[in-house]
Structure 1
Amino acid sequence: MFVLCTVVIFIMQAFIFVPLEVTGNSMSPTLKEHDFVVVENISRVKRFDIIVFHAPDGNTYVKRVIGLPGDRISYKKDSLYINNQLIDEPFLKDIKKKKNEYVLTADFDTSELLGVKTIPKDQYFVMGDNRRVSKDSRSFGTISSYSIIGKARLVYYPIQDMKIIKH
């Protein structure tokens, strides 16, 4: 029985639920440096999910999915537009209230930034919630679906910050 439990735990940790420590401030205040999160890799990636992935520069990052394949993303006057429709970003409301003295997200359009009209098939456009310090798709481009490790689902340490991660 012990061997069976050990095998099940190993499989779940290796293939379904992966623990990870957050480094850096790019997802603050949603995730803070040294938060430990559980990453799940069995469900489909959706807009505004927080994902963990291997970036083109070889590093592993935690970022929020902003653009899906086929989307055209733009920011104008600190507002997100997807396919020319204004989209609310509820996860940024508190940040914008505290920092209303400056623009959180500088204007850009994916066609200018990436050189293509829409995000290519099997690619995602990701950004950190702390937009002013985040190294993300604005600097390294879109990320491949094959580079995604999984979705961050739960902060489990430190205990006082334990929470289910929602988008």
Structure 2
Amino acid sequence: MNTQETSQLDNPKKKSLWKKNMWVFTKLVAVVLVVSFLVRGFLFTNYIVYGQSMMPTIHDGERIIVNKIGYEITEPNRFDLIIFHATEDSDYIKRVIGLPGDEIYYDDDTLYINDEAHDEHFLKVHKEDHDHGLFTENFNLEEMTGETTVPEGYVFVLGDNRQNSVDSRHIGFVPVEEIVGQANMAFWPPKNIRFFK
């Protein structure tokens, strides 16, 4: 058998191998796309934060990762950062302050839940920079909502920038069923990558 006959025999083998590799590659791409769709659609998603209501914790224009599956398994915890459907067109990011059954009030810039003072460590930097009056104005739940405690199936939320936030003081309690998920981390811009506590 001469060299020309050998190369002609190899050619069909090469075509067959190429087709096989293309099929494997196509399946791999399809699996990656399906997994990406499932992860994005059901487990995690990303949001761009607009506005200053969560400063200094989250800044205007930052991109964040939101865990969508966590609250399918557990209930929100106090001080979680959550994304929820505020209107048909807008989702908000705020911090859970009150859980079902909680009685809430602020007195002299201190959060009281069920008559127990709670430290809001995430406000420390903001309070230090705030030099005029109370950072969180005094209020109680009944004054704001007409309810003495947070109703079952709802949470009470506030923005970390208490002077510039539309939150439960204005829109009332947030139904748990309207919560999209928990904000876990900021990933953009890269210099600001961090996990939320």
Shared fold, TM over 0.5 = yes
CA contact under 8 A between 2:56 and 2:125: conserved in structure 1?
no
The structure richer in helix per residue is 2
Q: Which residue of 2 is the match for residue 7 of structure 1? A: 34
Tell me whether 1-10 or 132-141 shows the greater mean CA deviation: 1-10
Q: Which residue of 2 is the match for residue 152 of structure 1? A: 183
Q: How many percent of aligned residue pairs carry the same amino acid?
A: 39
The structure richer in strand per residue is 1
* Deviations, residues 87-136 of structure 1 (Å, cap 9, x unaligned): 11000111111114321100110022111111000100000000001000
Give the number of equivalent residue pairs.
166
Tell me whether 124-133 or 58-67 shows the greater mean CA deviation: 58-67
* Deviations, residues 63-96 of structure 1 (Å, cap 9, x unaligned): 0000001101100011100011101100011111
- What secondary structure sits across from 2:184 in the alignment? strand
Higher relative contact order (CA 8 A, sep 6+): 1
- What secondary structure sits across from 1:133 in the alignment? coil
Q: Which residue of 1 is the match for residue 94 of structure 2? A: 63
RMSD: 1.2
Structure 1 runs (4+) greater than 6 angstroms displaced: none
Report the structure number with the largest CA radius of gyration. 2
Tell me whether 99-108 or 71-80 shows the greater mean CA deviation: 99-108
For normalisation by structure 1, the TM-score amounts to 0.96
- What secondary structure sits across from 1:61 in the alignment? strand
Unaligned runs of 5+ in 1: none
Quote the Cα distance in structure 1 between the aligned partners of 2:182 and 2:112.
Answer: 23
